[in-house]
Amino acid sequence: DAKTTQPPSMDCAEGRAANLPCNHSTISGNEYVYWYRQIHSQGPQYIIHGLKNNETNEMASLIITEDRKSSTLILPHATLRDTAVYYCIARGSKLTFGGGTRVLVKP
């Protein structure tokens, strides 16, 4: 699985959009971009995934650049309950977690 690079931490304001970047410059054509998050003392939770096209669901939107070397997870209206570690994963056959981004949503 390709390596991904994420900022170690970021803050965002409650009610505002949170944009979480991820670099995956070595991603191969058959690897999907997956996002999971892990709230304190819980197991990781699936958020969204995509291959080439942008995707949206009830939790978030995923924007993938045309060259697929980077992506952005967008939480449209961050709430305090969105405080968590967010993992971006370039998934081939395995789900391999990196260090993730620790997101703190502040009131």
Residues at the interface with other proteins (CB under 8 A): 32, 36, 41-46, 49, 85, 87, 91, 93-100
CB distance 87 to 95 below 8 Å: no
Residue 44, Cα to own-chain centre: how many angstroms? 12
C-alpha to C-alpha distance for 25 and 54, rounded to whole angstroms:
17
In sequence order, what are the residues at sequence separation of 6 or more whose Cβ sits closer than 8 angstroms to the Cβ of residue 42?
none
Q: Shortest gap between Cβ of 38 and other proteins (angstroms)?
A: 8
Nearer to other proteins, 30 or 107 (CB): 30
Nearer to other proteins, 81 or 94 (CB): 94
Q: Shortest gap between Cβ of 16 and other proteins (angstroms)?
A: 26
Q: Shortest gap between Cβ of 26 and other proteins (angstroms)?
A: 18
